[in-house]
Amino acid sequence: MKTRLFALFLALLLTLACVACSAPASQAPAKEQEPAAPAEENQEAPVVENDNEFAEHVTFTMNTTSDPPAENDALWQYYTDKFNFSVDWIPLQYAERFDKLRIWIATDDLPDVVWIGLNDVIYSEYVTWMNSGMFAEVPSLDAYPNIRAMYDQESMLGDELCTFDGKLMSLHAMRDSAPYDFMLNMGIGYRADWAEKLNMRKEGDVYTWDEFMDLLQAFIDQDPGGNGAGNTYGLCTRMGYFPDILGIWQTNPTPWTFEEPGYIEMDGQYVWYPSTDSYIEGLKTVKGLYDRGIIWPDNVIDSSETLYRELYVAGQVGAMAQNLTLSWVSQVRDDMLEVDPTLDREKIYAIAKVSNPGTEDEFYQHAVASYWSCVAFSLKATDTQKDRFLATQDWNLSQEGVNLGLYGLEGTDFTVNEDGSINLLWKQDETGTYLDPYTFREYYTRLSVYDNAANFTNASKNPQDVEDVRSAMDWSLANIGDKVKVLDYVQTYTTTPNKDKLGTFTAQTKAKVIDLLANSTGDAIESEWRTWVAEMMPQVQPVLDDLNAYEYIPSDPKEMMEWVRNDGLSQYR
C-alpha cells in the first residue's frame, strides 16, 4: 500500500512539475516581480466615482520595461478607479524587449496591449507584422480628440508612419519636445571639480576635441580623485551607445539613420555606412582613445548596462557619455551626493560641449524620430479593452491628465497659482528636493507622449539641474540645430524582400568594432576593417540593390516629410 501511495504521489508531483513548467510566459503575474516602492502609508486614494461610460470593469495584459505602479499607490488607485480598469503587467528587462516580442509573436502569445520599443533594430519586422495582420487595427481616433490633435501637429510625423492600407495599426508616443524637435541631447557629463583642481576647466564647459581628451588624460595621470595609481579611468558609457556617443559621430551616421549604423544616401544612392571612409576615420579615432587608455578598458566587455554608471558614481571615472536628459542628470547627481554630500552638485556631472574630432566647429548631437516607441493591440484585445486604453491615453493628454501625471491631484499635491505656475505641496528633504509620493507617473502616462521638454517646467525638478540641461540644449540648438537631421523614414518604414530578411547588419557591425578595438594592433585596424567589410558585402549588396531600386531616395528632410505626409510610404509597403 505504501508503495502504491508513494507511486501515486510521485506521479502527481511529476505531472504538476510538467504543468508548472509549461505555463506560458504571459501568465506570469506582475505581482511576482519586486514591487515598486510603495507610497507613503498615510496616502489614501481619493474616492472616485466612475463615469457611466466606464461602468464595466476592464482588465488587460500589457508588457512594460519599467517598474509597474505599486498596487497600493494612491494615485494609481485613483487613476484605475476613475477609468475602472486594471492591468496585469508583464515586466521585461529593457535588454530583452525585442527578444520577448519576437517570441510572443512566433507563439501567438501577445499581451492584449503591446508596448513596442520601436527603433531601427525592429522597423522592418514591425512593417512586416503590421502588413501581415499580426496586430489589430486601432479604432478610429475621432472619439479621442487629444490623441488626434497630437498626431495633427504640423512639424511631426505621426499616424502617417503607422497607417497600413488606410488602417491605423499602432499609436506612436510622440515626442513633445519643441523647440528641440528631432534633437536628442547626447553628450558627455564630466567631473568639472577635478578639472578645476587641475586648473583645466574651460569657460562654459566648451572644449575642442583635443582639449577634452587631454583633460581626461590628465585625470588618469594625475588622479585628482585620489583613487590610487591605475584606478582612475577617463571615459565610459553604456555598451549599447558605444562608441558613437563618445562624441565620434563618424561611427554613427547622424544624418538619415537612427541610433545604429545602417544605410545612408550619398549622391542619390544608398550605401552601407560602415563601408565608407568616414566610418573608418571614426573607428581609428576610437581605437586611438582605447589604446591611449582613455576609454575605460572594460567598456568593451561590459554588458551589465549599469557598471559604467556605478564606476562614475563611485568617483573612478572622469567622464560619462549618455543621453543628457534631465532625469538622468538629476539621478546621477543625487546618487553621487548620497555617497559624498560635500561634493558640489553643479560640478560633479557638468555637461561638456565637446567638438567632433574631425571638425572642431561641429558638435555631436543625435537625430531622433518624432516619437519614442509605440503601442499596438493584439488580435485578441476586445473593443472594450481598446476603448478603455485609448480613453486613458486621451485623458493623459488633457491638462488635467498632464498635471496628474506630473504632480498628482490638485489640492492634495499641488495648487495652481494665479500666474499659472504650480505650487507643489509634496514634502521636501533637507536639500530641498521634492519627495515624490507616488510610483505611478513613471510609465503609464508616457505611453502616448514623451514629454522630455515638459520637464523643464516641472516644478518638482531640481532648479540647478533644469538650468544646466536646458542651457546645454539651448547651446546645442544655437550652434548645431540646423545640422540635426531627421530619421530616414523612407528607408526604415518600408519593406523589401532582402531588407526584411537581412536588416542592417547592426549587431555584426557593432561586434566587429568592439573586437577590433580590443584586439587589433595599431594602424592595422583600417585594413582589417576593410577586409571584413569586403567579406560582408555579398550579404549586404542585395539589401542595397533593393533600396536603390526605389524611385524616391530622399536627400532633403523637409521634402521627405512632405512625401511621407502625401502617403508616399504606401507604394513601398
Comparing CB distances to other proteins, the nearer of 10 and 339 is 10
- Do 322 and 238 form a contact (C-beta atoms < 8 A)? yes
Question: Smallest distance, Å, CB 208 to other proteins?
Answer: 28
Q: Using the rule CB under 8 A, is 65 a contact of other proteins? A: no
Among 53, 515, 556, 559, binds other proteins (CB under 8 A): 515
- The single residue among 230, 268, 341, 522 that binds other proteins, judged by CB under 8 A, is 230
How far apart are alpha carbons 13 and 284 in whole angstroms? Answer: 60
Q: Among 98, 241, 434, 550, which residue sits at the site for other proteins (rule: CB under 8 A)?
A: 98
Give, in order, the Cα–Cα distances in Å from 442 to each of 59, 94, 405, 495: 20, 15, 8, 34
Residue 99 sits in the site that holds other proteins (CB under 8 A): yes
Interface positions, 537-556, toward other proteins (CB under 8 A): none
Q: Does the footprint of other proteins cover residue 7 (CB under 8 A)?
A: yes
Nearer to other proteins, 298 or 360 (CB): 298
Amino acid identity for residue 280 in this structure: I
**Which residue in 229, 268, 338, 361 binds other proteins (CB under 8 A)?**
229
89 DSSP β-pair partners: 62
Instruction: At 246, give phi and psi (nearest 5°).
Output: -70, 0
Contact 243, 517 (CB under 8 A): yes
| Peptide bond connecting 29 to the previous residue in cis, omega within 30 degrees of 0 | no
Stretch that binds other proteins, among 12-20, 358-366, 438-446, 448-456 (CB under 8 A): 12-20
At 64, list the grid cell: 512594460
Instruction: Pick one of 186, 289, 514, 525: the residue that binds other proteins (CB under 8 A).
Output: 514
* Minimum CB distance to other proteins, residue 26 (Å): 17
**Cell numbers of 194, please?**
577635478
Taking CB under 8 A as the rule, does residue 511 contact other proteins?
Answer: yes
Cα separation, 395 vs 445, whole angstroms: 9
CB closer to other proteins, 15 vs 140 = 15
Q: Are 51 and 84 in contact (CB under 8 A)?
A: no
Residue 535: other Cβ atoms inside 10 A: 10
| Cβ atoms of residues 334 and 307 within 8 Å | no
Q: Which helix (H) or strand (E) holds 320?
A: strand 317-323
Q: Which stretch binds other proteins (CB under 8 A): 103-111, 167-175, 213-221, 481-489?
A: 103-111
| 76 versus 129: smaller Cβ distance to other proteins | 129
Binding of residue 128 to other proteins (CB under 8 A):
yes
- What is the closest distance, in whole angstroms, from the C-beta atom of residue 301 to other proteins in the complex? 4
Of 145 and 240, nearer to other proteins (C-beta) is 240
Cα distance between residue 429 and residue 432, in whole Å: 5
List 510, 525, 557, 560, residue binding other proteins (CB under 8 A)? 510
Note whether 14 binds other proteins by CB under 8 A: yes
What Rg value do the Cα atoms of the chain yield, rounded?
25
Segment interacting with other proteins, rule: CB under 8 A, options 214-222, 272-280, 291-299, 432-440: 291-299
Is position 217 an interface residue for other proteins (rule: CB under 8 A)? no
290 binding other proteins? (CB under 8 A): no
Nearest CA to 481 out of 562, 375, 362 is that of 362
Indicate which single residue of 77, 124, 170, 370 sits in contact with other proteins (rule: CB under 8 A). 124
Determine the distance from the C-alpha atom of residue 203 to the mean position of all C-alpha atoms in its chain, rounded to a whole number: 31
Q: Which is nearer to other proteins, 199 or 303 (CB)?
A: 303
Q: How far is residue 120 from each of residues 125, 257, 297, 415, 468, measured CA to CA in Å?
A: 10, 8, 28, 42, 30
Among residues 500, 470, 487, which one has the least CA distance to residue 554?
Answer: 487
458 binds other proteins (CB under 8 A): no
Q: Is 519 in the site for other proteins (CB under 8 A)?
A: yes
Q: Select from 442, 388, 401 the least CA-distant residue to 83.
A: 388
Shortest approach of other proteins to residue 64 CB, angstroms? 20
The angle at the Cα of 229, spanning 292 to 328, to the nearest 5 degrees, equals 70
Is 22 a binding residue for other proteins by CB under 8 A? The answer is: yes
Q: CB under 8 Å to 469, separation ≥6 — which residues? A: 185, 324, 325, 326, 329, 351, 456
Q: Which residues of 92-101 are buried (b: 16+ CB within 10 A; e: fewer)?
A: beeeebeebb
| Nearer of residues 3 and 199 to other proteins, judged by Cβ | 3
Q: Quick one: which of 46, 145, 297, 411 contacts other proteins (CB under 8 A)?
A: 297
For residue 328, count other CB atoms closer than 10 A to its CB.
Answer: 18
- Please state, in angstroms and rounded to a whole number, the distance separating the CA atoms of residues 259 and 277: 19
DSSP lists the bridge partners of residue 136 as 377
Task: Pick the stretch among 8-16, 47-55, 169-177, 198-206 that binds other proteins (CB under 8 A).
Answer: 8-16
For residue 311, state whether it binds other proteins (rule: CB under 8 A).
yes
Check residue 241 for interaction with other proteins (CB under 8 A): no
Among the residue ranges 132-140, 359-367, 388-396, 400-408, the one whose residues contact other proteins (CB under 8 A): 132-140
Interaction residues for other proteins, span 316-355 (CB under 8 A): 316
Among positions 132, 428, 431, 527, the unique one binding other proteins when judged by CB under 8 A: 132
Interface pick for other proteins out of 25, 37, 103, 379 (rule CB under 8 A): 103
Count the residues of the shown chain that bind other proteins, applying the rule CB under 8 A. Answer: 52
- Least gap, CB of 44 to other proteins (angstroms): 41
The residue (of 143 and 379) whose beta carbon lies closer to other proteins is 379
Q: Which residues pair with 322 in a beta bridge?
A: 187
CB atoms within 10 A of CB 352: 25
Which residues in this chain contact other proteins in the complex, by CB under 8 A? 3-4, 7-8, 10-11, 14-15, 17-18, 22, 98-99, 102-103, 105-106, 124-125, 128-129, 132-134, 228-231, 233, 296-298, 300-301, 303, 311, 316, 500-503, 507-508, 510-512, 514-515, 517-519, 535
